Structure 1
C-alpha cells in the first residue's frame, strides 16, 4: 500500500535520534502487512488494517514510543499505561527483536480480520420479524365472510406490525360494546385500505 507523505514528513521533522527508529518501525509494519494503510491521528502516525488501527508510533523530545491498538488482546492481562508498551525508545537497541514485533503485528492483523467478520455478522444478523398476530375469533369470523372480502384482502396485505395495531386495539377494549364498535370500525377502515392510525398519517 502507498505510504502517506504526512508520515514521511512526521519522521523528517522528528529529532535525529528518533528518525532511524521510526523508519525501522514503519518498514517493519509494511513488510509484515503489505496492505497496511498509513494515517495521522492525534498528531501521530497510525497504521490501519481492514479499517482499524493495528499500531501507532510517536516521537518526543528525548524518546520514541510504539504501541499496538489492541495490546491487551494481543498479550492478555492489563494494558500498559499509555502507548509506550515497549518503554521509552531512544535507539534501535531498545526495540524488541524484529520477529517478536512481526509476530505481534501478524496477531494484530488477525484480530482486525476477526473484528471485521464479527461486525459484518452482527450487521447481517437482523432480528427475526415478529410473527403475525393471532386474530380474535369474532374478527376472524367476520373477515371470513364474503361481504368483507375487501377488508380481508387489505388485512392480509398488511405487515405483521400493521395487523397487530388493529388486533391490539380490539383486544384492549374493556367493555363489549366498545369492542364491537372497534370491530365495526376495523372492517370499515380495512375495506377502504386504511391502517389503524390512518387519521394521523
Structure 2
C-alpha cells in the first residue's frame, strides 16, 4: 500500500471520526492491500474495481462493518455475512465491535474481498425480486383510485422506494392500520420521497446514511 493510493477525502473522514477510528484505519489498510481503488461515496470510504463498487466501510452505534455491495453472491464459507434488514437483497455486512476482531480476521476478510472482486470480473448480478412480485395493499390501491396523482407519483419513485412502501404498508395486520400508514405517507410520496429519506437525500435504510440526519416528515 502506498500513500498515492489513499484518497484525501477518506483521510478527512478518518480524522473526523469520533468512533471506530482505529477500526476504520485497520479495515482501510486491509482493503487497500487487495489493490482496490479508494473512493469516497455516500459519505463513507468505498472501494471499487474497474469503477464497480466492491466494499464500503461504515459504522453505527453498536458496530462498524465492511459492506459488500453484492454480498448475497458470495459463498460465505465462514458464515459471517449479515443481511442488514430482511428487505436488503444484495448487500451483506461483516460486523466488528473492536479492532482485535479485525486483526484476527484479516486473512478471512481478504479472501472475501478477493471473492467479491471475482464476482465483478465474472459479471454476476443479483437477481432482484421485482416489485410486481409484491401485492399492492388494497388500502393503497383505494387511494390510487381516489387520487390519480398519488398513483402517478408512486410510479415515478425508484423501484427500491416503491418496494419499501409496499412492504411497510403490507406488514400491518389490520386494515385500519394499513390505511393509517398510507395516509401518513401520502405527502411524502407526492413529494417524490422514499419512506426513509433523510434531509441529506439518502435513506436511513441504506448503509450509506449514519442516521444522524433529521427525518423528512
Q: Report the TM-score when normalising by structure 1.
A: 0.49
Larger relative helix fraction: 1
Q: Report the TM-score when normalising by structure 2.
A: 0.46
